[in-house]
Amino acid sequence: MSSLSLSRVPLLLIAILGLVSLPPSSAQAEWRTTRINDMTYVPLADFATAFAMQASKPRKDKRELGFAGKSHQLVVKTGTREVIADGVRHWLSYPVTTSAGKAFVSLADINSTLGPAMRPDLVTQIAKVKTVVFDPGHGGHDRGSKSSYGYEKDYTLDMVKRARRILEAKKVKVVQSRLSDAFVNLSERPEMTDNYKDPIFVSIHFNSAGWKPSANGIEVYALPPLGLPTTGKAPDPILDRRPCYGNAFEQASFVLANTMHHTLLGKTGGFDRGVKRARYAVLRHSKVPSILIECGFLTNPQEAKNIDSSKWREMYAQSIADGILAYMALANKKTLPPRAWEHRRKSTDEFVWEE
C-alpha cells in the first residue's frame, strides 16, 4: 500500500516556490517524505517536532492525536481531513493517514495549510495593504438566503456599511462592490480591485441549510491551491487543475482567511465551522488576496434572530474590521495576528464531521 523508504524534500525549494518554510530555529534542513497511494507524505511527528510540539496525553478516541508546545497546538483525527491547528478548525486537502503504525500528513497540506496557519509571517506572498474592497453578497433580484426576518442581500449590505465606517475611522481606505440594493455580476465584483492601490477583497455572506435548521456557526473561505480539492469534495482531476487569477495569491488569501477566522471566533463566540476552501467565482476572478465569510445561518432560529439585531450586526462588523486590521498589521508591520485563544476563547477540541 505504501513505501516506507523516506526521501527528502529541501525546505529551500519550498520557500522558493513561495510557500512556507520551517521556523529558523528548527534544526531540520528538509522534510523526510514517503509515498502513500501515489502521494507524498511527511511523518506527522516530524512536523510536530519542527514546530516545537510534543505528543500530548492520549485522547478518548484512539484515532485522535494531539501535539502541543509553548506556541502551537495541533490535533488530528486519522482517516479524516479535519484538523485543529492552534485552536481553530481547518480542513485539509487529504486525510491524515497511517502506515506501519505511524501517522502521516500530506506535503501539500503542510505547504498550503498547516505551515502558513502556524507561521503566517513566513508566507512570501503577503504584501502591503492600503485598500479594503468589500463585497456585500447578492443584491437586486438576487436576494440570497431568507429568514423569517429578512433577506441576506440586505444584511450583507448593512454589515459592510458598518464595518466600513469602523475602518474609515482608523484611516483605512474602503470601497464597496455595491452601494445599494443593486445586482452586480460575480466576475465584476473582484475586478474593481484593479482600480485601487494594494487592495484585499472581502466578500460578506450569510449561510443557509434549510435541511438542517440546527446548523450554525462561522466559516471563512479561501481559494484552494491549484490541483488541490475543494473542502468536502473528492478530488476532481479537471476542475481542480483549471487555473484562475486567484491562484497567484493562494497563500496570502489563506492567511487572510485564517486571521479573520481566529478573530471572528475570539470576538463573537460563534461556533467554529473551520477555515475552508472553495472555488467561488469571486475568489477565482480575484487578482488580490481574497476571502469569503459566511457570518451565520439565516436558517437557524437563534442565529436568524441575532442577525436581525442591529446591535449584533454592529458587534460582528467590529469583529470583521478587527480581523482586517490584524491582517494589515501582519502585511504592513510584520506583526503576528492574535489567535482565538488570545481573545480568551477556549480552543476548539471536538471533531464534528466525518468526510
Domain CATH for 291: 3.40.630.40
Rounded CA separation 251/224 (Å): 9
Q: What angle do CA 335, 222, 214 make, to 5 degrees?
A: 110
Q: Could you tell me the pLDDT band of residue 330, with boundaries at 50, 70 and 90?
A: very high
Query: Does residue 355 have a pLDDT over 70?
Result: no
Task: Kindly report, residue by residue over 188-245, the tens digit of the pLDDT.
Answer: 999 999 999 999 999 999 999 999 999 999 999 999 999 999 999 999 999 999 999 9
351 assigned to some structural domain: no
In a domain, 349, yes or no: no
pLDDT band at 1 (very low <50, low <70, confident <90, very high): very low
- Per residue in 223-236, pLDDT (tens digit) is 999 999 999 999 99
* Residue that is last in its domain, among 97, 119, 141: 119
pLDDT bin (cut points 50, 70, 90) of residue 8 is low
Q: How many CB atoms lie within 10 A of CB 241?
A: 11
Query: What is the rounded distance in angstroms from the CA atom of residue 264 to the CA atom of residue 256?
Result: 12
Per-residue pLDDT band for 30 (boundaries 50, 70, 90) equals confident
Which pLDDT does position 107 carry in this prediction?
Answer: 97
Q: What's the confidence (pLDDT) of residue 286?
A: 98
Same domain, 164 and 255: yes
Which grid cell sits at 311?
Answer: 446591535
Q: Which three cell numbers stand for residue 316?
A: 460582528
Q: How many CA atoms lie within 13 A of 52 on its CB side?
A: 12
CATH of the domain at 77: 3.30.457.10
Task: Tell me the sheet residues that pair with 41.
Answer: 34, 106
Helix (H, G, I), strand (E, B) or coil at 11: helix
Number of domains the chain contains: 2
Q: Is the same domain home to 25 and 115?
A: yes
pLDDT at 13: 37
Q: What percent of the chain has pLDDT over 90?
A: 91
Residue 352 inside a domain? The answer is: no
Place of cell 469569503: 292
Residue type, 164: R
Cell numbers placing 310: 442591529
Q: Which of 85, 119, 153 is the last residue of a domain?
A: 119
Does residue 155 fall inside a structural domain? Answer: yes
Q: Are residues 254 and 139 in the same domain?
A: yes
* Residue 350 domain-assigned (yes or no): no
Look at residue 7 in the predicted model and tell me its pLDDT: 56
Name the grid cell of 220: 471563512
Question: Is there a contact between 84 and 347 (Cβ–Cβ < 8 Å)?
Answer: yes
Strand 73-77 relative to strand 54-55, pairing: unpaired
In a domain, 150, yes or no: yes
Task: State which residues form the domain around 45.
Answer: 7-119
147 in the same domain as 233: yes
Relative to beta strand 173-176, strand 199-207 is: unpaired
DSSP-H helix ranges across the chain? 11-16, 44-50, 107-109, 115-118, 152-168, 188-191, 250-268, 281-284, 301-307, 310-333
pLDDT reading at 271 higher than 80:
yes
| Same-domain pairing of 105 and 150 | no
Q: For the chain, give percent helix, strand, coil, nearest 5.
A: 35, 25, 40
Integer Cα distance of 354 and 297 in angstroms: 21
Sequence length of the chain is: 355
In this predicted model, which residue has the larger pLDDT, 23 or 253?
253
- Give burial (CB, 10 Å; 0-12/13-18/19+) of 296: buried
Residues 187 and 77 grouped into a single domain = no
In this structure, the answer to whether residues 92 and 188 fall within a common structural domain is no
Q: What is the pLDDT of residues 68-88, one digit of tens each?
A: 999 999 999 999 999 999 999
Instruction: Supply the pLDDT for residue 51.
Output: 97
Rounded to whole angstroms, how far apart are CA atoms 156 and 203? 9
354: in domain: no
Residues 238 and 185 placed together within one structural domain of the fold: yes
**Average predicted confidence (pLDDT) for the chain:** 93
Q: Considering the chain, what percentage of its residues have pLDDT values greater than 70?
A: 91
pTM of the model: 0.93
108-166 tens-digit pLDDT: 999 999 999 999 999 999 999 999 999 999 999 999 999 999 999 999 999 999 999 99
Contact 18, 125 (CB under 8 A): yes
Q: Are residues 97 and 164 in the same domain?
A: no
